[in-house]
Structure 1
Amino acid sequence: MEEIIVLKCGGSSVNDLSDDFFDNLKALQKAGMKPVIVHGGGPAIKEMLETLAIEFEFVDGLRRTTEQMMDIVEMVLSGNVNPALSRRVNEAGIKAIGISGSDMNLLQATPIDYERYGLVGEVSNINVDFIYELLARNIVPVISPVAIGTDLNRYNVNADTAAGAVASALGAKQLLFVTDVPGILQDGTLLEEVTTEEIEAFIADGTIFGGMIPKVKAAMKGLTSNIEKVMIVNGKQSELKNTTTLAGTTITKKMKIKA
């Protein structure tokens, strides 16, 4: 049975994705999985804004997006990162097409709070029929999280939340957050499965620290009413756990039952 798998590739990890990652993606596809990729591009956007001497600020962890900045966001995400990632997928022998979320009304959004965040949106609707059409033709959609509003404004959507929304709307079997780490480690050992409650404890006791904290928090946000498990996997040293799953740490919102 064919199952949909949504992979969120962080902006900082796109250039570091290994050949093994794409080979494994191909293996997953051959095993009957239907991959959908949603990518970010925060570091590249930051670099371009600094190059153009455009000042920006973060409000509650979100980059406040003006009309001028939206031009840069779209240029970087849909004009640079998206085609670069699509080429890598195609080079691996996988049919892929890069799409902006504003194409075909793929990602529709409403402003979170225009006065506070500007053109930052949250996904309100997804053109799942178009995605299903591509998957039926064995084409991997590579989605840039630039959305369109009913007001015809473009909106900058956080890639983590966009990936979660896409996975939920498609009824995906898996939601994978592709990073530059193998997963959550405890004393050097990879933890194959943890609960959100355990993650909070690991953050409190220092097991999870530094740059790993935002990674696990982003993954936890992917746990919605429809998505009960998410995974953190390594894009640099990608390994297959079995024919239909990459190796990494599975995060679940379910409580583990103690024996």
Structure 2
Amino acid sequence: MKYIVIKCGGSVLDELTTSFFTSLSELEKRGFKIVFVHGGGPDINDMLDLFRVKPQFVNGLRKTDEQTLKIAEMVLSGQTNRKLVAMLQQYQFSAIGINGSDGGCLQANYINRKQLGFVGKISKVNTEFLELVVNRNYIPVITPIGITENGEKLNINADYAAAEVAKALHAEQCLFVTNVDGVFIEGSLASSLSKKEVSTFIVNGEITGGMIPKVQSALNAVEEGVESVIIVSGKKTFFENGKWHGTRIYQKEPITN
């Protein structure tokens, strides 16, 4: 079975266009099974602000105490997930929302409980569960909430979650959806960049601002074992006539004879 795993950040959900969903349709017509993993940072921050809880981050990961975890799960499952599922259904896709802890979908362990609190790293993806869903022709839309062997829920970085799901399903591609076409170098869209090139372009100022965390997230995914990640736009067509539009980020230089 051919899988495409798509990570959609919470900040881009409201910017998805008809062209984006047209590309999804073409992928389905070509026999790909689509799996979504989504974030929800802006919605979580809004709710934390409402409860007067100050967000805290350690090395890019959200420090998660018990109250923050409850709020994060409530927002991810009850708001962000519902929003994305509804949009897919609006475009005639059969989508089903899944909390990552449901059915042991995303099994996880603590990263560092003392430093980060209830933050986890995926130890296993229940691929049988996901295959059951996609074999019924549904698109799973997964929240990055994991569960430990003891039944404790953990907050998981959505980029890492998408990478682990892509690895476990042996996905053909892992896509990170953003609000830009990809990475621009000297004014032109780069079709692909190696880890070494990304590091160089950050240092020399070609990659700046909000694109830095995007490419770093992609690099984190390939370092987790995903062959490559394509940064694509949620505002435009990203797959057309069998061709990808975006920037492929990869770990190793291709072997040439």
Range into which the TM-score falls when normalised by the shorter chain: over 0.9
Give the structure-1-normalised TM-score. 0.95
Distance, in Å, in 1 between the alignment partners of 2:83 and 2:25 is 18
User: Cα 1:96–1:153, aligned 2, differ >3 Å: closer, same or farther?
Assistant: same
1:257 positional shift: 6.2
For residues 175-197 of structure 1, give each alpha carbon's deviation from its aligned partner in whole angstroms, at most 9, with x where no partner exists: 00001110111122111111111
Q: 2:145 maps to which residue?
A: 146
Q: Which 4+ stretches in 1 moved above 6 angstroms? A: none
Q: Does 1:254 align with 2:240?
A: no
Distance, in Å, in 2 between the alignment partners of 1:61 and 1:253 is 21
Structure 1 runs not aligned, ≥5 long: none
What RMSD, in angstroms, separates the aligned Cα atoms of the two structures? 1.5
For residues 10-51 of structure 1, give each alpha carbon's deviation from its aligned partner in whole angstroms, at most 9, with x where no partner exists: 110111111111121011111111110000011111111011
1:246 positional shift: 3.5
Q: 1:13 maps to which residue?
A: 12
Q: How does 1:97-246 map to 2 (within 5 A)?
A: 97-224=96-223, 226-243=225-242, 245-246=243-244
1:60 positional shift: 1.8
Distance, in Å, in 1 between the alignment partners of 2:96 and 2:244 is 22
Structure 2 runs not aligned, ≥5 long: none
| Count of matched residue positions in the alignment of Structure 1 and Structure 2 | 257
User: Cα 1:241–1:205, aligned 2, differ >3 Å: closer, same or farther?
Assistant: farther
Helix, strand or coil: the match of 1:22? Answer: helix
Helix, strand or coil: the match of 2:108? Answer: strand
Q: 1:77 maps to which residue?
A: 76
For residues 100-137 of structure 1, give each alpha carbon's deviation from its aligned partner in whole angstroms, at most 9, with x where no partner exists: 00111101111101111000000011110011111112
Distance, in Å, in 2 between the alignment partners of 1:54 and 1:22 is 36
For residues 132-154 of structure 1, give each alpha carbon's deviation from its aligned partner in whole angstroms, at most 9, with x where no partner exists: 11111221100000111112111
1:225 positional shift: 6.3
Q: Percent identity?
A: 43
Give the structure-2-normalised TM-score. 0.96
Distance, in Å, in 2 between the alignment partners of 1:246 and 1:44 is 30
1:76 positional shift: 0.6
